[in-house]
Amino acid sequence: MDSRFDKGDVMPVLSLRAHWFGLTSLVRQHIYLATVNPFHENGLSSAENPLANWTSSPRPTPWWHERYHKRLIKQVINLLTSLPCYLYEPFGGARNPVVLVTSGLGYVGSHVCIELLRKGYTILIVDDLTNSFGSVVQDIRLTLEASGLGNLPSRRLIHIPIDYGDPISLDRALVFYSRYLRVTGVIHLAASKSVAESLKNPWKYYENNVIKMERFLRVLGKHGIRNVVFSSSATAYGCLPSEMASKALNEDMVPIIGLDVDIKDTTAGLTPYGISKIFGEAMIKKFVDDHPRRRAVVFRLFNPVGSDPSSYLKENPRDYQWCVGGVMQMIKKAVVDDTVFQVFGGSGDGGDGSCIRDFVHVGDIARGFVMGFEDCLRADETKKRCKVYNLASGKGVSVKQLLKEVENESGAIVKIEDCQKRREGDVPISIGDMEKVRNDLGWRPEARLTDICKHFCRAYGIGKYAGEGSYSRN
Ligand SMILES: NC(=O)c1ccc[n+]([C@@H]2O[C@H](COP(=O)([O-])OP(=O)(O)OC[C@H]3O[C@@H](n4cnc5c(N)ncnc54)[C@H](O)[C@@H]3O)[C@@H](O)[C@H]2O)c1
């Protein structure tokens, strides 16, 4: 771990001294006032003093007595509530570098948290549970236990159930925790993510993914947080002209949004969700440009699938109506609820008529996020301060191939209906070029398609894995 982090340990000590100094000066004032104003001792303010009008000598004005007492009480409470932090600090609590993870209880976020905890970070999760459940905190602990890391101390994983775009609550939380933790950076994943929902309700996406992000970045700037990893999406590429679409998408291909682009036009492929991610990337770029010591890594995710091998963590959206549109959720629904899986058309680009996607195990994605975060911390003046990478495998797999693999792995039969037509917002082919991320960060996906399907089937208890995993707990 970087030795620079150790400097953060002086913060709690300085903060404790500040508390102590404030408290002692207030007590001194209290003693002074008690001697200057004799009625103070009897609990009488000057206003209630029957002799106040009889004497010609001016007495200290009473109006600020109340405020002064309130301050004293606040200082005492502050000191008492922060004592546990000072007590555990010598045992290593505040020594771990702290990362703020927005959406840490969501599908990708929870896996990122696991990876961070395994690497020794302390995490502050900001998640308002709009699309996840509070029980994921427990699932993260169980996953760590299952991987042999033992009991996680509660101080290493803190969940703050607030909206990341609520500047007042976020500011308060950061002020409170910065008393004993020094946040070294942010992994920002919180967003609304359904392409279909974004076409129905674009304002929700512009608000949650763009407007709130602007407020969020302002709070980060105010608190001097300089390192940001942002989760973007392959939807930012839109749907490129057919001559380019069959190639793997590289990082320079994001289209420039013209005012004449009709976002309902599925051939343009620019959905409000994709546009919100392009704006998010632009804001991250501006955030970095505004200060010479800020750094950011933007990851464009293609299709994160699978789950942690322990099966405690998996995609479990609260907003089921919209999130069920993801391919894995559709497969799960078809098997568990015994319904028909609708295979939408991809204009035959993949040979079997279904869409082609770049599937990457969510554990690999999480590893990539932590590598990106550590790259931000390695301040290298010769390198670009805002980098954009695809987290992709570079290999296309058709939806029908994926279905076959799930069937082979689980022994379950998935009933399919060939719809032929393309679903609104879908692009026929989406494969990411991974050269840049491999050369710069040394990241490459490790899990094969069979591993992905195995972990997915085990997590949801599909086919031969029925009764295993944690699906039955929800
Ligand atoms: N899963 C995918 O297929 C995929 C693909 C490409 C990009 N991404 C991006 O990755 C990120 C994470 O995706 P995911 O699949 O884990 O999503 P998810 O829906 O599982 O998790 C999102 C989490 O963010 C929280 N959240 C949403 N709005 C919030 C707000 N305003 N304040 C606080 N918390 C809020 C939700 O409660 C939820 O826990 C998103 O930015 C998404 O756009 C996901």
Q: Indicate whether 233 belongs to any domain.
A: yes
- The reply to whether 75 and 218 lie within a common domain is no
Q: Is 106 in the pocket of ligand 1 (CB under 6 A)?
A: yes
Q: Indicate whether 346 belongs to any domain.
A: no
Whole-number Å distance between alpha carbons of 455 and 330? 16
Whether 6 shows a pLDDT value over 60: the answer reads no
Q: Which residues make beta-bridge pairs with 342?
A: 417
Let me know how long the chain is. 474
Whether 4 shows a pLDDT value over 80: the answer reads no
CATH number of the domain bearing residue 182:
3.40.50.720
Whole-number Å distance between alpha carbons of 314 and 306? 8
pLDDT value, residue 53: 55
- The reply to whether 253 and 141 lie within a common domain is yes
Residue pair 129/252 in contact by the 8 Å Cβ criterion: no
- The reply to whether 202 and 83 lie within a common domain is no
> The tokens of 267 are what?
């051939």
How many domains does the structure of the chain reveal? Answer: 2
- The reply to whether 126 and 29 lie within a common domain is no
pLDDT value, residue 332: 85
- The reply to whether 281 and 142 lie within a common domain is yes
Residue ending a domain, choose from 67, 90, 113? 90
Query: Percentage of the chain surpassing pLDDT 90?
Result: 47
- Residue tagged 């600090």 (tokens): 89
- The reply to whether 59 and 108 lie within a common domain is no
Q: Which among 140, 189, 205 is the best mutation to test ligand 1's pocket, defined by most ligand atoms within 8 Å of the CB?
A: 189
Q: Indicate whether 115 belongs to any domain.
A: yes
Q: Indicate whether 340 belongs to any domain.
A: no
Please tell me which residue, 208 or 15, carries the higher pLDDT value.
208
Burial (Cβ within 10 Å: 0-12, 13-18, ≥19) of residue 334: buried
Ligand 1 center to 197 CA (angstroms): 14
Q: Indicate whether 29 belongs to any domain.
A: yes
pLDDT value, residue 354: 86
Please name the residues in contact with 171: beta carbons below 8 A apart, sequence gap of 6 or more: 219, 222, 223
Whether 93 shows a pLDDT value over 90: the answer reads no
Ligand 1 center to 210 CA (angstroms): 13
pLDDT tens, 199-233? 899 999 999 999 999 999 999 999 999 999 999 99
pLDDT value, residue 328: 86
Q: Which among 100, 102, 108 is the best mutation to test ligand 1's pocket, defined by most ligand atoms within 8 Å of the CB?
A: 108
- Residue tagged 């030795």 (tokens): 3
Closest-CA residue, ligand 1 atom 32, reads: 163
- The reply to whether 46 and 78 lie within a common domain is yes
> The tokens of 358 are what?
């770049």
Mean pLDDT of the chain: 81
> The tokens of 389 are what?
């990478």
Domain that holds residue 139: 96-316+360-394+432-450
Taking CA atoms, 275 is separated from 207, 254, 286, 313, in Å, by 12, 10, 17, 29
Q: Is 317 in the pocket of ligand 1 (CB under 6 A)?
A: yes
Whether 256 shows a pLDDT value over 80: the answer reads no
pLDDT tens, 42-91? 445 555 555 555 555 556 655 556 666 777 777 777 677 666 555 554 44
pLDDT value, residue 80: 73
Q: Which among 100, 101, 102, 103 is the best mutation to test ligand 1's pocket, defined by most ligand atoms within 8 Å of the CB?
A: 103
Q: Which among 131, 136, 228, 315 is the best mutation to test ligand 1's pocket, defined by most ligand atoms within 8 Å of the CB?
A: 131
- The reply to whether 304 and 227 lie within a common domain is yes
Side chain identity, residue 405: E
Side chain identity, residue 367: R
The three-point CA angle 162-167-169 to 5° equals: 40
pLDDT value, residue 472: 40
pLDDT value, residue 312: 92
> Cα dihedral sign for 255, 257, 263, 265?
negative
pLDDT value, residue 71: 74
Q: Could you tell me the pLDDT band of residue 242, with boundaries at 50, 70 and 90?
A: low
Residue 367's closest CA among 295, 447, 303, 294? 447
Closest-CA residue, ligand 1 atom 22, reads: 106
- The reply to whether 143 and 15 lie within a common domain is no
pLDDT tens, 306-365? 999 998 998 888 876 666 668 888 888 888 888 888 888 765 555 788 888 999 999 999
Residue ending a domain, choose from 90, 109, 142? 90
pLDDT value, residue 392: 95
Q: Is 108 in the pocket of ligand 1 (CB under 6 A)?
A: yes
Whether 11 shows a pLDDT value over 90: the answer reads no
Nearest ligand 1 atom, CA 132: 39
- The reply to whether 106 and 56 lie within a common domain is no
Ligand 1 center to 164 CA (angstroms): 12
pLDDT tens, 441-462? 999 999 999 999 999 999 988 8
- The reply to whether 125 and 190 lie within a common domain is yes
- The reply to whether 50 and 156 lie within a common domain is no
Q: Indicate whether 339 belongs to any domain.
A: no
pLDDT value, residue 474: 41
What string of DSSP letters covers 122-138? EEEEE---SSS-TTHHH
pLDDT tens, 366-388? 999 999 999 999 877 777 899 99
Whether 253 shows a pLDDT value over 70: the answer reads yes
Residue ending a domain, choose from 90, 115, 132? 90
Q: Which residues make beta-bridge pairs with 299?
A: 231, 389
pLDDT tens, 96-134? 689 999 999 999 999 999 999 999 899 999 999 999 999
Whether 92 shows a pLDDT value over 50: the answer reads no
Q: Indicate whether 364 belongs to any domain.
A: yes
Q: Is 190 in the pocket of ligand 1 (CB under 6 A)?
A: yes
347: left (phi over 0), alpha (psi -120 to 50) or beta: left
Q: Indicate whether 307 belongs to any domain.
A: yes
